[in-house]
């Protein structure tokens, strides 16, 4: 059997749908379907994220059971920095002393794991990450 990630559904508050529309447009994802109550967006690998309005008031705890964060792959360190600047311009702070290199996650010598972590208005933890040869 050969499988791959198809999609994830993220429940959000309706008032925050525009945040996700804008973010994933900035990240270069393709809008699949955009409705008043939800929208779906696909990355270049075909996997999609579906943001559905109507979330209840339960709070996410990304250190508890379940999904910790959603990582979006970037093609360069510069793209991670561009995402950091985009978020800052919208008042979204970077978390956990990012952006930064994480050498402990690099897969081989001369490579890096360069990330920015942030939380969405709904408390969903996201990461934009570049993995590959370290770039100056």
Q: Is the four-CA dihedral 51, 124, 16, 113 of positive or negative sign? A: negative
Q: Would you give per-residue pLDDT tens digits along the chain (136 residues)?
A: 999 899 999 999 999 999 999 999 999 999 999 999 999 999 999 999 999 998 998 888 888 888 999 999 999 999 999 999 999 999 999 999 999 999 999 999 999 999 999 999 999 999 999 999 998 7
Confidence (pTM): 0.94
Which residues, in sequence order, are bridge partners of residue 11? 52
| Beta strands 38-42; 70-73: pairing state | unpaired
The domains found in the chain, sorted by start residue, are 1-55 (3.10.180.10), 59-136 (3.10.180.10)
Which 8-state DSSP code applies to residue 29?
P
């Amino acid at each position: 059997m050969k499988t791959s990630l198809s999609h994830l559904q993220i429940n959000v508050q309706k008032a925050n749908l525009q945040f996700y529309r804008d973010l994933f447009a900035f990240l270069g994802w393709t809008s699949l379907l955009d409705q008043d109550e939800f929208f779906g967006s696909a990355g270049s690998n075909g996997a999609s994220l579906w943001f559905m309005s109507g979330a209840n008031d339960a709070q996410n705890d990304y250190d508890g059971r379940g999904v910790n964060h959603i990582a979006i792959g970037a093609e360069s360190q510069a793209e991670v920095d561009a995402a950091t600047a985009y978020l800052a311009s919208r008042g979204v702070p970077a978390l956990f002393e990012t952006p930064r290199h994480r050498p402990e996650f690099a897969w081989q010598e001369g490579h890096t794991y360069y990330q920015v972590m942030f939380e969405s208005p709904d408390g969903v933890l996201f990461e934009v990450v570049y993995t590959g040869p370290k770039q100056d």
